[in-house]
Chain A
Amino acid sequence: MKNKRITAVFLVLILTLGSLYVLQRLLVPKYQTGIVEGSMVEEYYKDESDHEVLFIGDCEVYENFSTITLWEKYGITSYIRGSAQQLTWQSYYLLEDALKYETPKVVVFNVLALKYNEPQNEAYNRMSIDGMKWFMSKINNIKASMTEEENFIDYVFPLLRYHSRWSELTGDDFKHLFSKNLVTHNGYYMRVDSKAQSEFPDPRPLADYTLGEKAMGYMQKMVNLCKEKGIKIILIKAPTEYPHWYDEWDAQVVEFAKNNNVEYINYIPLQDEIGLDMSVDTYDAGLHLNTSGAEKMADYFGAYLKANYDLTDYRDNEKYVAIWQEKVDFYNAMKAQQYDELETYGELVSFGANAIED
């Protein structure tokens, strides 16, 4: 009798845990259509080949550099570990995390996020962190990133955070319960549509232009980590002009680069040299580049990398060619689909804002 009851307890316990697991999988956002930015961090682990160049940063890397162009033109293998509004400490921990799996030759960090010195936004935090695998890097990342309203335990058990999504479930949530599609091209977020850059509002003066200690500290940690592992690090400011990148900030990064003996390139003044035409090369009026812009940027940056860093041209290596051919095909197929939609509907329908399911 007693044994029977104990068996029942265990049976119910197992069923409950199983249900919790399935419920959790069901209720966490899948980020498969529309807002795909939440899938980026997780997707990195699916890419089994290694990379010689690793981009780290926010939308100014994952929307502005076409990894496929880098491959096609220069045989450079690269990956972008970026996510929406990825804060400097998040970049550091994602780099730390990536270095567990591979040691690239070059790490590229975009400095725009230095403007944030405090945790910002819960939604972005989740997109940047949820996809990480559970190692110390993730734990430290959470601790550094949490806003006041957040709890650590919500990251451990995402169900606690997303339980109320039951009323917003879409087809995607069921379709991608246990498997997800790739949404980026080695971290690059493709948008082929175009919306000309217009006038930006005048930048507001700031009372204090000093970049925050926490942000600068994590950039320092990134540099140190790279040096330790014999990796070259390049600091960049992507060529897009909004949000405004103040000269005073730029000067501090220049100073930092000099002190650490690393390279820093601000691409804003180099728009013409890159060949960017902001009336066509951006999809959201100048904030981010579209694919034609990202390809130009990648072309320019690839040539620079090739000339200045000892990178391998893997286009002679069969193993890599096979891997990358698949990526190129996926890239071209998505590009074709997007152009197709543009032609048919005048706008993208299964990508971007229009694709967000209600």
Chain B
Amino acid sequence: MKKKVLSIMLTCMLSLGILAGCGSGDSPASGSHYDSAPPTSQDVGTQADTPATDLGYIYTANGVDVAVKASMEPIVAAWGEPDKYFESESCAFQGMDKVYTYGSVVISTYPENDKDYVLTIELKDDTITTAEGIYIGSAKADVTAAYGTATSETDVALVYEKGDCQLTFFFEDDCVTNITYAAIMN
């Protein structure tokens, strides 16, 4: 009998150990949604009317939409050779971080599966405006009028978050000095 009790306890401990060993494991099975979107139309009925993944704020120029986490390939194809280009090999050869400068727009990318995706988009002078009409030099009030209440605010900036995008306006003396779209990475 003692042996049996002992072995029960041991088994419990072993299994709990295994269970506990799964810290940040994948989410529990919700049982009702295809997280990785496999091929069934199970959720099609509800998905049809909603847009695809929300990339958040999008910057558009020369007919090309530039969104964070979007592939860099079509942008380079549309905009051509950048004015300035910088690349840096990340440590231990985990891919190349690249920075493209097109006039006063600077786009940086991150590598994933041998492709480059947009990490940040930086607007650096008043020749360009965001889709919502804000440019370098706009007043703080213009920004809040166009974008509403900020997600967060610091001494120097207003930060708006939407989808996977964090849009930051930097101010100096109440004037926008820099606009940056940045991908929110996990």
Measured CB to CB, the residues of A under 8 A from B are 34-35, 37-38, 58-59, 84-85, 121, 123-124, 127, 143, 146-153, 156, 198-202, 204-205, 207-208, 242, 284-285, 287, 352-353, 356
Contacts and interface: CB of A to CB of B under 8 A. Distances in A.
Most chain-B Cβ atoms within 10 A of its Cβ — which of A121, A198, A356? A121
B186 A147 contact: yes
Contacts of B6: none
B94 A201 contact: no
Contact of B91 (A59, A156, A198, A207): A59
A287 B94 contact: no
B170 A207 contact: yes
A287 B170 CA distance: 28
Contact of A123 (B21, B22, B94, B106): B94
Interface in B67-108: 84, 86, 88-94, 99, 101, 106, 108
A205 B170 CA distance: 8
A201 B159 CA distance: 23
B109 interface: no
Nearest to B186: A148
Contact of A152 (B22, B99, B101, B106): B22
Given A34-B93, A35-B92, A207-B156, A146 B180 contact: no
Given A153-B18, A207-B156, A200 B86 contact: yes
Given A84-B94, A204-B120, 9 more contacts: A37-B91, A121-B94, A124-B92, A146-B24, A152-B23, A153-B18, A207-B154, A207-B159, A287-B88
A35 B90 CA distance: 12
A121 B101 CA distance: 27
A242 B21 contact: no
A150 B24 contact: yes
A84 B24 CA distance: 23
Contacts of A200: 86
Contacts of B94: 84, 121, 123-124
Nearest to A143: B23
Contact of B21 (A149, A152, A352): A152
Contacts of B91: 37, 58-59, 84-85, 124
A178 to B, nearest CB: 24
Contact of A242 (B26, B88, B120): B88
24 contacts: A35-B92, A37-B91, A38-B92, A59-B91, A84-B94, A85-B90, A85-B91, A123-B94, A124-B91, A124-B92, A146-B23, A147-B24, A151-B21, A151-B25, A201-B106, A204-B120, A204-B122, A205-B177, A207-B152, A207-B168, A208-B154, A284-B89, A352-B93, A353-B93
A109 B89 CA distance: 23
B178 interface: yes
Nearest to B158: A207
- For the complex of A and B, the 5 pairs showing the least CB-CB separation, nearest first, are A84-B91, A207-B157, A84-B92, A37-B92, A201-B99
A261 B92 CA distance: 35
A205 B134 CA distance: 18
A227 to B, nearest CB: 30
Contact of A148 (B18, B24, B86, B108): B24
